[in-house]
Amino acid sequence: MTARAKTGALAATLAAATLVVAACGADEPGGGTVPSGSISDDRTPAKPEVSVNVEPESTKPSPPMTLPATTDPPTTPPSDPGAGVPNMDDAARDAIRDLAGRIGADPSTITVVADERVTWRDGSIGCPKPGMAYTQALVPGRRLILASSGQTYAYHAGRAGALTYCATPDPGGPLPSGPGTDT
C-alpha cells in the first residue's frame, strides 16, 4: 500500500470515527451528547470539539542507519564487545555479549557483519516460531548480523524493542529497501 493510499485510508477512518462520535446520543433533546460537567448555567449543551491532525507519510525512503563519525580512535580494550567498531550502541554490545555466552566465544572474536534499519513483513520481526500467529502489518525495526569463526548469527528488533537472538531467521527476510519502502 502506498503512502498516499495509507494516508487516504487513515483520513477515511478518522472521518468515519468522527461521524460515529457525533451520532452518539443523537436521540437526546438538542441532538448530540452532553459530557458530564460540561453544561453551562443556562443548561445549553457544550459543543464537542473534535480535532484531527493527519500528517502524510513521506514517499521517500528513510536514509539508512549510519553510525556517527568519530575523530578519536576507539579507546576500549580488545576484550570489550564491539572494540574497533566506532560508536557501537549498547544494544549491539549486549547482543555481542549474549552471542559470546551462547557459543562460548570471547566477545573480541565476534564481528559485526551488518547493522541496518529494516521493515519486517509482519509481527514476527523476521523470526517466526511454529504455531504462533503474528500481526500482519509492516513493522519497522533493526537487523544485526554478527559473525564468529565463519558462522553468522542474527539479532532482530521491532521499532523500539530490544535486539533478540533469532536462531532461524525467516528466509524471506525483511522487505528490500529502495523506492516505495520505509527503510
From CA 126, how far away is CA 143, in angstroms rounded?
9
Tell whether 118 and 167 lie within a shared domain. Answer: yes
The pLDDT > 70 percentage for the chain reads 49
The boundaries of the domain holding residue 117 are 61-183
Question: Final residue of a domain: which of 35, 59, 83?
Answer: 59
Asked if residue 117 and residue 27 are part of one domain, the reply reads: no
Using the predicted structure, report yes or no on whether residue 139 has a pLDDT greater than 90: yes
The per-residue pLDDT for 62 is 52
Q: How far is Cα of residue 65 from the mean position of the Cα atoms in its chain?
A: 13
Residues 86 and 140 in one domain: yes
Do residues 80 and 124 both lie within one domain?
yes
Three-state SS string across the chain, please?
A: CCHHHHHHHHHHHHHHHHHHHHHCCCCCCCCCCCCCCCCCCCCCCCCCCCCCCCCCCCCCCCCCCCCCCCCCCCCCCCCCCCCCCCCCCHHHHHHHHHHHHHHCCCHHHCEEEEEEEEEECCCCCCCCCCCCCCCCCCEEEEEEEEEECCEEEEEEECCCCCCEEECCCCCCCCCCCCCCCCC
Greater confidence (24 vs 101) lies with 101
User: pLDDT band at residue 3, thresholds of 50, 70 and 90?
Assistant: low
Instruction: Judge contact between 108 and 83, C-beta under 8 A.
Output: yes
Indicate the range of 21-35, 114-128, 131-145 predicted with least confidence. Answer: 21-35
The total domain count for the chain is 2
Q: Is the pTM for the entire model greater than 0.85?
A: no
Shared-domain flag, residues 124 and 44: no
Cα–Cα distance between 148 and 86 in angstroms, integer?
Answer: 19
Q: Which pLDDT does position 86 carry in this prediction?
A: 54
84 and 158 co-located in one domain: yes
Q: Is residue 40 located within the same domain as residue 122? A: no
Residue 5 has pLDDT above 80, yes or no: no
pLDDT, residue 53, reads 55
Say what the pLDDT of residue 45 is: 52
Same domain, 94 and 149: yes
If asked whether residues 50 and 123 sit together in one domain, one would say: no
133 pLDDT higher than 80: yes
- 183 pLDDT tier (thresholds 50, 70, 90): very low
Residues 117 and 90 in one domain: yes
Q: How remote is the C-alpha of 175 from its chain's centroid?
A: 14
Same domain for 90 and 174? yes
Task: Give the C-alpha separation, 18 to 34, whole Å.
Answer: 16
pLDDT band at 123 (very low <50, low <70, confident <90, very high): very high
